[in-house]
C-alpha cells in the first residue's frame, strides 16, 4: 500500500483514545531501508460517549519531525500494519487516526517514534593467482571478472596484484564467481556468508589454456505475459546474471533480448534480477555441449504497488494472467471525456453492460474529487460513479474509461498496473 504525501487536508474530529504499541524490524535490502510495525487497539465509542458502530478504518501518519507528518497511509480496517522504506539514520514519528463510513476522521492518537539505526557494512575479498607451489606461489592474474550474486549483485575485476574486493555489503548469503577467457578456475564459485564480519581469503586459482575461450552462446528474451496469438510486451533493462563455468552480467535490449557470447562447453545458470518484476522461471540451468543455446526465455510480471482503494468493491475482478496487452497512449483510455469531476448515477447509462477501470472508492466525496482531478491532470478520462450502500450511505467510486467489452477494460487495466503504477479493479454496471 502506497504512502501518500499529505496536502494539508483538514478532517473532522470524531473519536479518540487509540492506543499504539510499536515494534521495529530491519531487513537486508540494497537501499538499507527499515520497517516499522505498528499495532493498536480500535476505539469503541464516539467522542460524545455514544457507541461506535460504523468504524471503517485507520490512517497512519508519519514524518521525521515530531508533530509534523509528511506522509499518510490508509490501511483499512486492520489493527496492525508495517510501514516500509524508512531510511536509516532518521527518527520517524507516527500517529494514527480512525475514520467512519461517512469519511469523518478522529483526532490523532498519541505519538510514538523510532530511530532507524544505520547497519554495519562489510566486505568480501580475495586474490586470483595461477597455480604454484609452497615455495613458489603462482603469478597473480589481473583483469579477471569477479561476479557477486545473492543478497547483492555486482561485478569487479582483479587489480595488478590479482586482488579484488566487494565493499558495502550487509549480512547475508552470497556467491562469488571468477571468469577470464583462456583460463579455467578452481573452485568454479564460492558460497560466502557474511554474519557480522568481513570475509577475506576468498581466493581462486586459474589454469591457463582452459575454458573461457569457447565459441558458443546462450541467448533468450524477457517478455510480459501473453498468449499464443499475441506475445507479451518485451521488458527492456532487465539485469541477467550468468554463473557456473563462466560468470558475466548483461541487460536486455529494447526488444527484451539478451546474449552471452564466447562460452565454452559446460554447465551454467542464467538468472534475471527482480527490479520490480517476478520472473518465471526464477533461473534456468543451461548446459552447452558443442552448440549455441537459444530460447532461454523468462516471463516477468510487475510487482509495483498502485493507488489504493479505501473500500473494496463488491464486484471486484482480478486481471487474468493470460490477458495480452497492446501498448496504448494514456490519453486514449476510455471513449468519453468529462470536463470536470461530477456525480454520475448508474441510471444515466443505457441498459447495455459497460465496463470501467476502478482506481478508488471513497465514502468521503472530497477524497474522490481530489483523486479524479489528479488523474485528469495526467491525461486520464476519469469520473465519479455514486453507489448506494445499506443504511442510506453513498460510496463514490473513481473510474477510468467506458468499455463495451470486458476484455478491452482488462487490457487497459493491465497497462495501468504495469506501466503507470496504478492498481485497479474492473467494475461493470
Is residue 320 domain-resident? no
Query: By C-alpha distance, which of 409, 416, 412 is closest to 307?
Result: 416
pLDDT at 124: 96
pLDDT at 145: 92
pLDDT at 99: 92
| Cα distance between the two ends of the chain | 27
Mean pLDDT per 10-residue segment, the chain (429 residues): 42 39 36 76 85 92 94 94 88 93 89 84 93 76 91 91 92 90 85 93 82 71 77 86 89 91 85 83 86 90 46 35 32 33 42 79 81 82 79 78 84 74 72
Asked whether residue 99 falls in the same domain as residue 23, the answer is yes
pLDDT at 365: 85
Number of domains in the chain: 4
Is residue 325 domain-resident? no
Which DSSP string corresponds to 313-381? -TT--PPPTT-------GGGSSS---SS--EE-GGGS-SS--EEEEEEEESSHHHHHHHHHHHHHTT--
Q: In this structure, what CATH number is given to the domain that contains residue 391?
A: 3.30.70.1070
Asked whether residue 177 falls in the same domain as residue 160, the answer is yes
Dist CA 163 CA 124 (whole Å): 11
230 DSSP 8-state letter: S
Is residue 310 domain-resident? no
- Number of Cβ within 10 Å of residue 281's Cβ equals 13
C-alpha cell at position 41 = 487497539
Q: In this structure, what CATH number is given to the domain that contains residue 174?
A: 2.60.40.10
Dist CA 424 CA 275 (whole Å): 21
Asked whether residue 237 falls in the same domain as residue 182, the answer is no
pLDDT at 132: 73
- 412 backbone φψ class: left, alpha, beta (φ>0; ψ -120 to 50): alpha
Boundary of a domain, candidates 57, 88, 115: 115
CB 290 within 8 A of CB 312: no
Boundary of a domain, candidates 98, 115, 132: 115
**Strands 80-87 and 33-41, sheet pairing:** antiparallel
CB 22 within 8 A of CB 10: no
With a CB cutoff of 8 Å and minimum separation 6, the contacts of 51 are 44, 45
pLDDT at 76: 94
Asked whether residue 58 falls in the same domain as residue 137, the answer is no
Asked whether residue 198 falls in the same domain as residue 228, the answer is no
Domain housing 374? 330-428
Asked whether residue 17 falls in the same domain as residue 74, the answer is yes
Dist CA 424 CA 414 (whole Å): 8
Asked whether residue 40 falls in the same domain as residue 88, the answer is yes
Is residue 308 domain-resident? no
With a CB cutoff of 8 Å and minimum separation 6, the contacts of 123 are 165, 166, 167, 168, 169, 198, 199
Asked whether residue 111 falls in the same domain as residue 126, the answer is no
Asked whether residue 274 falls in the same domain as residue 341, the answer is no
Is residue 318 domain-resident? no
Boundary of a domain, candidates 90, 115, 140: 115
pLDDT at 229: 64
Q: What is the pTM assigned to this prediction?
A: 0.33
Asked whether residue 127 falls in the same domain as residue 203, the answer is yes
Specify which residues 293 forms β-bridges with: 218
Amino acid at each position: 500500500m502506497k504512502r501518500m504525501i499529505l496536502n494539508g487536508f483538514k478532517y473532522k474530529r470524531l473519536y479518540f483514545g487509540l492506543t499504539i504499541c510499536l515494534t521495529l524490524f530491519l531487513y537486508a535490502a540494497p537501499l538499507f531501508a527499515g520497517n516499522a510495525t505498528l499495532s493498536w487497539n480500535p476505539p469503541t465509542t464516539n467522542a460524545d460517549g455514544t457507541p461506535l458502530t460504523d468504524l471503517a478504518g485507520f490512517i497512519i501518519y508519519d514524518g521525521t519531525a515530531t508533530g509534523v507528518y509528511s506522509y499518510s497511509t490508509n490501511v483499512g480496517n486492520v489493527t496492525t500494519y508495517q510501514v516500509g522504506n524508512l531510511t536509516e539514520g532518521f527518527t520517524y514519528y507516527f500517529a494514527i487516526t480512525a475514520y467512519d463510513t461517512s469519511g469523518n476522521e478522529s483526532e490523532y492518537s498519541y505519538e510514538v517514534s523510532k530511530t532507524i539505526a544505520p547497519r554495519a557494512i562489510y566486505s568480501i575479498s580475495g586474490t586470483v593467482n595461477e597455480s604454484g607451489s609452497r615455495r613458489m606461489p603462482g603469478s597473480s592474474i589481473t583483469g579477471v571478472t569477479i561476479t557477486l550474486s545473492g543478497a547483492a549483485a555486482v561485478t569487479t575485476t582483479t587489480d595488478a596484484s590479482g586482488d579484488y574486493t566487494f565493499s558495502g555489503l550487509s549480512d547475508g548469503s552470497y556467491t562469488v564467481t571468477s571468469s577470464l577467457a583462456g583460463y579455467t578456475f578452481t573452485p568454479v564459485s564460492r558460497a560466502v556468508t557474511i554474519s557480522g564480519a568481513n570475509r577475506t581469503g576468498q581466493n581462486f586459482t586459474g589454469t591457463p589454456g582452459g575454458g573461457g575461450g569457447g565459441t558458443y552462446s546462450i541467448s533468450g528474451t524477457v517478455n510480459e505475459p501473453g498468449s499464443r496469438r499475441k506475445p507479451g510486451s518485451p521488458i527492456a533493462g532487465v539485469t541477467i546474471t550468468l554463473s557456473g563455468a563462466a560468470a558475466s552480467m548483461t541487460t536486455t535490449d529494447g526488444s527484451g533480448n539478451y546474449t552471452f557470447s564466447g562460452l565454452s562447453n559446460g554447465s551454467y545458470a542464467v538468472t534475471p534480477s527482480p527490479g520490480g518484476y517476478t520472473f518465471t522461471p526464477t533461473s534456468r540451468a543451461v548446459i552447452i555441449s558443442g552448440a549455441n543455446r537459444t530460447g532461454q526465455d523468462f516471463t516477468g510480471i510487475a510487482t509495483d504497488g498502485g493507488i489504493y482503494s479505501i473500500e473494496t468493491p463488491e464486484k471486484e475482478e482480478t486481471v487474468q494472467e493470460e490477458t495480452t496487452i497492446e501498448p496504448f497512449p494514456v490519453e486514449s483510455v476510455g471513449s468519453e471525456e468529462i470536463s470536470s469531476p461530477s456525480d454520475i448515477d448508474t441510471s444515466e447509462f443505457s441498459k447495455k453492460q459497460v465496463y470501467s477501470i476502478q482506481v478508488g472508492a471513497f465514502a468521503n466525496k472530497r477524497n474522490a474529487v481530489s483523486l479524479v482531478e489528479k488523474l485528469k491532470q495526467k491525461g486520464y478520462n476519469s469520473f465519479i460513479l455514486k453507489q448506494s450502500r445499506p443504511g442510506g450511505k453513498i460510496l463514490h467510486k473513481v473510474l477510468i474509461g467506458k468499455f463495451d467489452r470486458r476484455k478491452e477494460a482488462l487490457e487497459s487495466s493491465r497497462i495501468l498496473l504495469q506501466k503507470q503504477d496504478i492498481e485497479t479493479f474492473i467494475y461493470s454496471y
